[in-house]
């Protein structure tokens, strides 16, 4: 819809060679988790051009790039085994919080100050910790409504009682936010949503304008959507309406 294709890092057929159970033994995760990390794509985050704030809620969600983290830790002078657990700390419940740590078969997918997405490879479920209220109250996909206190081990019930969806439903839920333009890309690296992020008063009406531009360019019909023309039109029309002030809205 808005990302540059070059921003998507796709694994080779055999998976990322740097990600192996032996190499990531220090994470304390199951082989199934490591194989998942080995075979999924990531968003490039190591250059200014491709820093993506791909999101599906009111707070920006940055997908954690395990492959880039590992390559960064491979630099000379870095103690790989001592530092690799930093990635886990960035993506899972923090030590010292009221909620218990994630077990070996659960892995975090994003790194933010608020939201956490925890994927349970045994149950086939993704938990959204600190899920936005407007998604919890009006989910577009059926959530899992089990009471975790009936089955979860001590220390896990609190976070397992957060909103959760089957893996396929979870990602369809995220897609729905973009299909409905609840999440609105302004540029290839900046996404806002009108229900969770309110622009400053001088930008009143800006998000409704951008929604209209997307629809004018065929969205959400992928067969007719004109991506490049649309993103150009968003920038031009915001600049026409808001002048130099548009740069702060666009994140320039």
| Residue ranges in the chain assigned as alpha helix (H) | 31-39, 66-73, 80-83, 85-91, 133-137, 157-160, 167-179, 206-216, 227-242, 246-250
Task: Tell which residue, 110, 131, 134, has the closest CA to residue 194.
Answer: 134
Mapping DSSP onto H, E and C, the string for 63-120 reads: ECCHHHHHHHHCCCCCCHHHHCHHHHHHHCCCCCCCCCCCCCCEEECECCCCCEEEEE
pTM: 0.84
* Residue 251 Rama label (left phi>0; alpha psi -120 to 50; beta): left
**Residue-level pLDDT at 186:** 87
Report pLDDT digits (tens) over 49-87: 444 455 444 344 566 777 877 887 777 877 766 666 656
pLDDT in tens, 180-209: 998 888 888 788 876 655 667 777 788 899
Spatial CA neighbour of 11 closest among 40, 31, 37, 36? 40
- Which residues in the chain show pLDDT less than 50? 47-52, 55-60
Cβ within 8 Å of residue 58, ≥6 positions away: 132, 134, 193, 195, 196, 197
φ/ψ of 51, rounded to 5, equals -75, 110
Q: What is the pLDDT of residue 59?
A: 41
pLDDT number for residue 250: 78
235: helix, strand or coil: helix
Kindly list the strands in the beta sheet with 164-166, ordered across the sheet, starting from the edge strand earlier in the chain. Answer: 106-108, 116-120, 125-129, 164-166
Tokens of 81: 């085994």
Domain range annotation of the chain = 5-178, 198-250
Predicted local confidence at residue 249, as pLDDT: 79
Euclidean distance between CA atoms 78 and 71, whole angstroms? 11
């Amino acid at each position: 819809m808005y990302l540059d294709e070059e921003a998507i890092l796709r694994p080779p057929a055999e998976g990322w060679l740097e990600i192996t159970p032996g190499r990531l033994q220090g994470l304390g995760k199951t082989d199934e988790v490591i194989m998942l990390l080995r075979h999924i794509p990531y968003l490039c985050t190591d250059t200014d051009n491709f820093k993506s704030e791909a999101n599906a809620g009111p707070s920006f969600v940055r997908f954690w790039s395990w492959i880039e983290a590992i390559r960064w830790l491979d630099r000379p002078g870095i103690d790989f085994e001592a530092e690799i657990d930093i990635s886990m700390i960035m993506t899972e419940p923090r030590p010292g919080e009221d909620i218990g740590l994630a077990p070996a078969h659960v892995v975090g997918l994003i790194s933010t100050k608020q939201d956490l997405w925890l994927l349970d490879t045994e149950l086939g479920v993704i938990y959204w910790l600190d899920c936005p209220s407007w998604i919890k109250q009006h989910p577009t996909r059926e959530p899992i409504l089990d009471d975790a206190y009936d089955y979860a081990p001590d220390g896990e019930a609190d976070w397992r009682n957060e909103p959760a969806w089957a893996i396929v439903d979870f990602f369809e839920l995220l897609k729905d936010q973009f299909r409905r333009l609840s999440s609105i890309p302004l540029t290839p690296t900046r996404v806002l949503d009108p229900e969770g992020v309110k622009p400053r008063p001088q930008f009143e009406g800006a998000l409704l304008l951008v929604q209209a531009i997307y629809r004018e360019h065929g969205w959400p019909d992928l067969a007719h959507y004109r991506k490049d023309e649309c993103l150009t039109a968003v920038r031009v029309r915001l600049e026409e309406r808001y002048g130099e002030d548009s740069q702060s809205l666009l994140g320039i």
